Structure 1
């Protein structure tokens, strides 16, 4: 079936993952072989579809990139990026409770083996770090380090499961002699702390879906004060990406619904050391001292 025939399909455009899955299953018997091949891959590897490029997905599914576009048109989407939004929205909406996650694990191999459970978490951590190594923009990392190295004070913003990342960075900054301030006060004066930040400072904000409302509001407030922001998040659709001078997309693998922090922690460990080294370089050239 060629593309003209694809467009003749009676298309109802699915805008959520469950609807998309139902449409693909309904058309399984009539869908062209290559389209069914990539559709099956998409349903089996939704995270890869959400975060991959057309080239990487096509290679993994063993089809041409044009086949992804044909599939998108076949399903009624404007193009592959339009189809990809369904998979990214799925990640934003995927918020299993811890009881649901434990129930998922009980239904799998880990139910009868602690070794399987440990192996699953180790594998997820390894996948996360390997993916970061393949996808991180080294030039963006260098630019972010350069921005943060020139800051008088680095403000750290994170809540909930993201908080360990900024807690480690605060520890590292303290040991490296870099002035910093965590916006996470036990007495509820976060907004007052943020008001000390100026355009001479910078901030690092971390949040993953479902995004912490406090982190988003604090990051936005800093941005509105002219404070340059570096963000660590999980999607180009993250609210943090829209207000950050530089941002890093980190896709963490999960095991039984429990997401790894391995890749994010690797980035959180690299940033303070890289900033310290950059500051030493700038100090030797007199660029930091001249500002003080």
Structure 2
């Protein structure tokens, strides 16, 4: 590999917070060689492991040499890995705030304003901002391509866990009402891997996961991809572990209010794709798989 591909860009000031670090990596302002990209993807997918693990253990889990962690920190402007790890540990300390404490923060500092009015206003504004950002940034041609890919499928597999599961759950309902065969992955009896194994290249899948990425979703998406099943992904970062397995992927970042994130933009995109699938099916415009 040429020397130019082995080196990262000259770093500037190191990011002071995890949010700044994540934005710098996801925004493409830092160009990294292959191994450091691998570290970046692991760090964004497993921030708790970076915060709490040893260099040796993190390197093993990320599939790199320990020296790659040091070079990754230096590529971001840190003197080494320890300073980088401090940013991840500060993120973890801030996350200790539980939902009760978040709710308590809503009850203070609002004077005589109705707490319900503050909640409604804040949540509506964050949802509106999320949808407006999606509307302005989404590549409509990519949405068309995703709808076309899924429309060709005999069966659409819907894959999500935790916070993302309400999206695929509703999509399963909507697609069923539209007469489109689908399988919702999320069995309480723990047979999801077996169900996913039934998918073939004649099918397609939609997987959804956001930071911190659900390990089961990542595993099922990889299983589908390795079986040659075309995969569409909705996630929140180009460094998401789902992107490498996706035929088409979308980045959706939801705004938050007092630490709570809605699914407004993600649901809007998912439903747009689903209705696009139905429209193509009804008009007979399923086309052929371009590969």
TM superposition score normalised by structure 2? 0.67
1:1-292 to structure 2, matched below 5 A, reads 14=14, 17=17, 95=95, 97-109=98-110, 113-282=115-284
- Structure 1 stretches of 4+ with a deviation exceeding 6 A read 46-54, 76-79
Look up the SS of the partner of 2:159 in the other structure. strand
Q: Report the count of equivalent residues.
A: 223
Distance 1:98 1:142, change over 3 A: same
Give the Cα separation in 2 of the matches to 1:200 and 1:182: 17
Look up the SS of the partner of 2:183 in the other structure. strand
Give the Cα separation in 2 of the matches to 1:105 and 1:49: 30
Distance 1:78 1:187, change over 3 A: closer
Q: Is the 8 A contact 1:168 1:269 kept in 2?
A: no
Look up the SS of the partner of 1:177 in the other structure. coil
Distance 1:104 1:244, change over 3 A: farther
Give the Cα separation in 2 of the matches to 1:126 and 1:132: 10
Q: Is the 8 A contact 1:170 1:182 kept in 2?
A: yes
Give the Cα separation in 2 of the matches to 1:53 and 1:126: 26
Give the Cα separation in 2 of the matches to 1:13 and 1:52: 16
Q: Deviations over 1:149-188 (max 9, x none)?
A: 0001000001111111001110111011111001111211
Q: Is the 8 A contact 1:146 1:275 kept in 2?
A: yes
Look up the SS of the partner of 1:227 in the other structure. coil
Q: Which has the higher helix share?
A: 1
Give the Cα separation in 2 of the matches to 1:183 and 1:236: 24
Q: Is the 8 A contact 2:221 2:242 kept in 1?
A: yes
Query: How far does residue 138 in structure 1 lie from its aligned partner after superposition?
Result: 0.7
TM superposition score normalised by structure 1? 0.67
Distance 1:255 1:210, change over 3 A: same
Give the Cα separation in 2 of the matches to 1:14 and 1:47: 12
Q: Deviations over 1:87-119 (max 9, x none)?
A: xx89x9775532343244344439862211110
Query: How far does residue 270 in structure 1 lie from its aligned partner after superposition?
Result: 1.4
From the CA coordinates, give the structure whose radius of gyration is larger. 1
Query: How far does residue 12 in structure 1 lie from its aligned partner after superposition?
Result: 8.6
Look up the SS of the partner of 1:239 in the other structure. coil
Give the Cα separation in 2 of the matches to 1:104 and 1:116: 11
Give unmatched runs, 5+ long, in structure 1: 1-10, 21-41, 55-75, 80-85
Give unmatched runs, 5+ long, in structure 2: 1-10, 30-73, 78-84
- TM-align CA RMSD: 3.4
Distance 1:77 1:51, change over 3 A: closer
Q: Is the 8 A contact 1:51 1:251 kept in 2?
A: no
Give the Cα separation in 2 of the matches to 1:188 and 1:77: 41
Q: Is the 8 A contact 1:168 1:268 kept in 2?
A: no
